[in-house]
Amino acid sequence: MRIFPDAKVLLTVRDAERWYESVKGSIYTANNYNQGTVGLFLKLVGQFRRMNIVLSTSNQGPPVNEKGKHVLIFFRVRIYNEIGMYKLCKYFTYIFVIAGLFDTIGLGKSESVKFYNNWVNYVKKVVPPNRLLVFEAKQGWEPLCKFLDLPIPEGPFPRINDTPALLWNFKKLKIAAYVVVWGLPILIALLLAFVMFS
């Protein structure tokens, strides 16, 4: 709000537990798509940077509060110096500091619901009420268009990026990656071997 103080903000909300199940079953599965075969494929087709931007943007969370910063420093210094176990240190920082979306989903439903509610409360606290629309997709066009001072379009409110559609797109991406990165080179090698030894 400091950079764009007159901006209108759309905060989409839903039941926190259903949100967790949806995220865990959809975008959370893409968390490591910038690595391995899919990551290499994304580099080959020039989309690696775009995927990294999407993943890092998706992994945002509410800012760490001052208490969280002190706990982070305390655990990083104390545990790492006394025990020397970085993984243990990392685990404690996730528990006591507001982590990003993917980190929190990995910790389970309870932590994820807290994360979601903290995010919603943070946005409501930071954005002036006259600039904020708390919106559920099931409300349809009317509140959204009224908030944006736009006419209501004809036709139903779109339902894209639902979990099945996202999973299907992820599956297509994975298939394309394996075909290009592994299938084509193996096929070319077999064809060359056939030509050379025939």
User: Residue 176 falls within a domain, yes or no?
Assistant: no
Q: What is the model's pTM?
A: 0.68
Q: With bands split at pLDDT 50, 70 and 90, how would you rate the model's confidence at 162?
A: confident
Asked whether the predicted pLDDT for residue 103 surpasses 70, the reply is yes
> Each residue of 46-81: pLDDT tens digit?
988 888 888 777 777 666 443 443 334 344 344 444
Convert 98-148 into a string of H (helix), E (strand) and C (coil): CCCHHHHHHHCHHHHHHHHHHHHHHHHHHCCHHHEEEECHHHCHHHHHHHH
User: Residue 17 falls within a domain, yes or no?
Assistant: yes
Which candidate, 31, 50, 53, places its Cα nearest to that of 42? 50
User: Residue 141: which CATH number?
Assistant: 3.40.50.300
User: Residue 175 falls within a domain, yes or no?
Assistant: no
For 143, the domain range is 9-63+98-160
User: Residue 127 falls within a domain, yes or no?
Assistant: yes
Asked whether the predicted pLDDT for residue 161 surpasses 70, the reply is no
More confident residue, 17 or 95: 17
Q: Domain count for the chain, please give it.
A: 1
Give the bridge partners for 134, in sequence order.
11
